[in-house]
Structure 1
Amino acid sequence: MKLVYVFDAYCGWSYGFAPTLAEIGRRHPDLPVEVVSGGLFTGARRVPIREFGYVQGANAKISEMTGVEFGAAYERLIADGSFVMDSEAAARGMAALRQAAPAHRAAELAEALQTAFYRDGQSLSDAGTYRAIAERAGLDADAVVAAFTAPTSRAAAEADFRHARGLRVEGFPTLLAVDGNRGAAVLAVGRATADRIDQRLAALAAS
């Protein structure tokens, strides 16, 4: 069995879920975690952030319910409402980071990606953001930037989006337990405590 974490780097609830996913990783170090980008802000939804009038209120609720903090640099980035959240670019970056790192670091890198945006106010469309993440993570930064900017990176993003659709994921974040014999079971959508996820894992193991 493995966990499949379908998130979007520009999804605030995914940012809020990151500490829970990290706790699950600590409790189950032998359980592989596959990270898939979901594609929340693509196509007609790739517009200036001012078009989403609920952002500030949603962020306050996310902070209250999960304890994550939205940094001052992030607040400055979105202050005039012109910033565009481009989930394809973020998915290309996530794919580039995955390519440069061992599979067991995928969840850690997804969290680093979201921290770069929501705390440090760095655009996930900027190659420099991925260089900085790679350097902090001890990865080959040149290779990460090259993979992010390569023409083939869009295919990697689209492959993630197709994978998410194939899993019938409709909201982010979604955490699934995937077993080759039994298919996929939903462990969490939006938010859940690590204890609740553990209960669901135990029920699956007992079934």
Structure 2
Amino acid sequence: MRLIYVFDAYCGWCHGFSPTLSEITANHPDLPVEVVSGGLFVGSRRLPIREFGYVQGANANIHEVTGAEFSDAYERLIADGSFVMDSEAAARGFAVLRAAAPERAVELATALQHAFYIDGRSLSDPDTYRAVAARTGLDAETVAAAFTDPGSSAAAAADFRRAARLGVTGFPTLLAVHGDETTPIAYGQAAPAQVEARLAALTGSRS
């Protein structure tokens, strides 16, 4: 069995789901996890955050349900409403981080969301990836340079196509691949115990 996690670095519910995913992967170190950027704010949705009037209320709900924090630095970043959540840029950045340490994809996805929601950094800024790389022990200059390389755009586009082929329409989505079958085991929000129960039921039914 393996897992596929489809997320968006600008998705607040994905931020809230990060502790669950981290716990699941810690509990199952031999379970491979593929992490894919889904593309939430692209095309016509790549707009100033003021155009998404639900964001502040949604964040409050996410905090209530999951305990996820939204820092003062994040609030300052989005305060005047002009900040643009560009998921293509975020997917490019995640792709270069993932390429630097593929086996740490879950950790790096979480670190990227920490950079936005806790550090209040734009995920369109190469310096953000320099900082994330340095914090996670990667080569900061190599990662920052790769972010601006055209290859990062191709990697982001490949992720978006991958998410579409998987039929994912919302984030976060956690899928279990067992043999020829792909089964959703978490969507939007789930506690670790819920995911563990679904994994156990899935492996039991296939044994």
Same-fold call, TM cutoff 0.5 = yes
Offset of 1:183 from its aligned partner? 2.4
- TM-score scaled to structure 1, two decimals? 0.97
Mapped partners of 1:73, 1:206: distance in 2: 45
Matched, 1:186 2:184: yes
Tell me the amino acid that sits aligned with residue 189 of structure 2: R
The residue number in structure 2 matching 1:30 is 30
Q: Which runs of 5+ in 1 are unaligned?
A: none
Q: Secondary structure at the match of 1:169?
A: coil
User: After the TM superposition, which of the residue ranges 135-144 and 69-78 deviates more from structure 2?
Assistant: 135-144
The residue number in structure 1 matching 2:110 is 111
Q: Secondary structure at the match of 2:150?
A: coil
Offset of 1:36 from its aligned partner? 0.2
Mapped partners of 1:113, 1:32: distance in 2: 20
The residue number in structure 2 matching 1:67 is 67
Q: Secondary structure at the match of 2:15?
A: helix
Equivalent of residue 193 in structure 2, options 186, 192, 195: 195
Query: What RMSD over aligned residues (CA atoms) do the two structures have, in Å?
Result: 0.7
Cα deviation, 1:118-161, whole Å, max 9, x if unaligned, reads 11110000000000000011101122112111012111000000
Tell me the amino acid that sits aligned with residue 53 of structure 2: G
Would you say how many aligned residue pairs link Structure 1 and Structure 2? Answer: 205
Mapped partners of 2:121, 2:93: distance in 1: 13
Structure 1 residue ranges (4+ consecutive) displaced by more than 3 angstroms after TM superposition: none
Q: Give runs of aligned pairs for residues 112-127 of structure 1, distance below 5 A.
A: 112-127=111-126
Q: Give runs of aligned pairs for residues 19-58 of structure 1, distance below 5 A.
A: 19-58=19-58
Offset of 1:104 from its aligned partner? 2.5
The residue number in structure 1 matching 2:156 is 157
Tell me the amino acid that sits aligned with residue 171 of structure 2: F
Q: Which runs of 5+ in 2 are unaligned?
A: none
Aligned identity (percent) is 69
Mapped partners of 2:81, 2:163: distance in 1: 29
Offset of 1:191 from its aligned partner? 0.5
Mapped partners of 1:139, 1:178: distance in 2: 30
Mapped partners of 1:183, 1:50: distance in 2: 41
- TM-score scaled to structure 2, two decimals? 0.97
Q: Secondary structure at the match of 1:152?
A: helix
Mapped partners of 2:35, 2:202: distance in 1: 21
